[in-house]
Amino acid sequence: MESVQSPPQTQPGQTFPVLETLDPSRPHRFIKPTKMINEGSDVSHFLTSKAYRDIGLFVMQLNRAMCPRKVKGEDGKEMFRTFHIGSEYETKPVESARKLQELLSRVESYIDEAPPDPGPRRFGNVSFRKWYQLLEERTTGLLRECLPDTVLSFGSESSGDGATALDEIKAYFLGGFGSAQRLDYGTGHELSFLAFLGCLWKLGAFKDGQPNGDIERNIVLGVFEPYLRVVRRLILTYTLEPAGSHGVWGLDDHSFQPYIYGSAQLTRAITDDEPMPLEGSLFRAPKPGLVVKADYVEEERKRNMYFSAIGFINDVKKGPFWEHSPILFDISGVKDGWGKINKGMIKMFNAEVLSKFPVVQHFPFGSLFSWERDPDASTPQQSIHLANQPMGTSSSPSGGGFAGAAAPWAQGTMMPPPGGAGMANSRGPWGPDHPAPRPTPPQGNTAAPWTRSSDRPSG
């Protein structure tokens, strides 16, 4: 018997939806994750699926947890509590996060067993395949060692094909470390690791933490940030190619989520009962424009995930920041604070990660992240955004794509259609005072139109 997928849950004392946790007393039918997105038109179905709904809910849940909180000091005065890299959420996490840190440390250690081949190479280093083979061979044992028995034995009943919780968890875990075939890594792999954490959440792995944001901070700072460090070492060691990247017109060659959680770290403080702010910044937060100051980034990357991601760009790219990262440079000119940047990042994640065939095509679907249609999904509006998705050889054009905002979490976060090559208020040297030619971005790509001060996100 397959357990019923319940509506999004809320944690005690608050009204903001969170990813569901399955009832361990009810049998659950696991399904070995399978590739379902084979052509551009399949993305339209994905955007109305339970998997899309759950991914969005989990991202929004983690995002809100990273927003600073208003607290009362001993003298009764209002204070702000912030959450940063290197805090107790990373150094003294709950046991579930600590075991995942141990898991990541073991994974990273395999690099020493698969040193990169010497000599220059045009593409990724083939030794990455040896590293990945080691990972594949050892993953089952690692997961059994680092995950609770209650998770691995969840739902005693297996499906006809013998699928287990481990089968689903393992698929997303392995998908989180790049492609051994293509020698690349990108936001689709990052998305797979998020799904791995989402599987663990659904199966009750994180019940050892406090609700209302505390356990989520253990996940983001105690697990996801260490994961990013492992991935960055893999990229540097094996010169992995960007996967599904827009090149210079993408936000980042390899990652997206640190920009969401990192901007949340710097938004205006809220109480536990308030929604995410749409604009404004934490008192004395660094100005967005400081991302172009390499020395400042080098210091702030130790505390903030947004600046940590920028710092890695500086590690791998040379030249003027505006030249190699024009979208991030445009965003650095936002005048309405980190709250607006955070809201825009959610929009862009929806548009540039979840709605793009090259990114989501390898995402597999099982029972925990299901291909089934979300019964509560609203009928998505047709838009230009998905109209140019790649088509399979056996398919016929669908007549246009969807906006990709069917799930409730995505309402009010749809990315507006990109305007053109330039921006009205661009900070770059290609602006009105510097008419040097600027390359035309690929059709359908985002030029971060939400960075315009007059274009406040809705919702």
Residue 416: pLDDT over 70: no
Q: Which positions ≥6 away from 246 have C-beta within 8 Å? A: 352, 441, 442, 445
CA dist., res. 187 & res. 334, Å (int):
24
Check: CB of residue 39 under 8 Å from CB of residue 391: yes
Listed residue (7, 13, 27) closest to 272, CA to CA:
13
Tens of pLDDT, residue by residue over 342-364, are 999 999 999 999 999 999 999 99
- Over the range 334-365, which residues count as b (16 or more CB within 10 Å of their CB) and which as e? bebbbbbbbbbbbbbbbbbbbbbbbbbbbbbb
**Residues 223-244: what's their mean pLDDT?**
95
Tens of pLDDT, residue by residue over 80-98, are 999 999 999 999 999 999 9
pLDDT at 426 (0 to 100)? 43
Tens of pLDDT, residue by residue over 292-310, are 999 999 999 999 999 999 9
CA atoms within 13 A on the CB side of 278: 10
Tens of pLDDT, residue by residue over 380-415, are 555 545 555 665 533 333 333 334 444 555 554 433
Residue 423: pLDDT over 80: no
Higher-pLDDT residue of 441 and 364 is 364
Overall residue count recorded for the chain in this entry: 459
Tens of pLDDT, residue by residue over 38-54, are 998 899 999 999 999 99
Listed residue (5, 96, 7, 17) closest to 62, CA to CA:
17
Biggest CA pair distance of the chain: 69
Place of tokens 């140019």: 388
pLDDT at 10 (0 to 100)? 56
Higher-pLDDT residue of 366 and 323 is 366
CA dist., res. 154 & res. 200, Å (int):
11
Check: CB of residue 3 under 8 Å from CB of residue 27: yes
pLDDT at 75 (0 to 100)? 79
- Least confident range from 46-55, 203-212, 445-454: namely 445-454
**Residues 103-118: what's their mean pLDDT?**
96
Check: CB of residue 205 under 8 Å from CB of residue 147: yes
The pair of structure tokens assigned to 349 is 């994640």
Residue 128: pLDDT over 50: yes
Listed residue (43, 18, 407, 63) closest to 257, CA to CA:
63
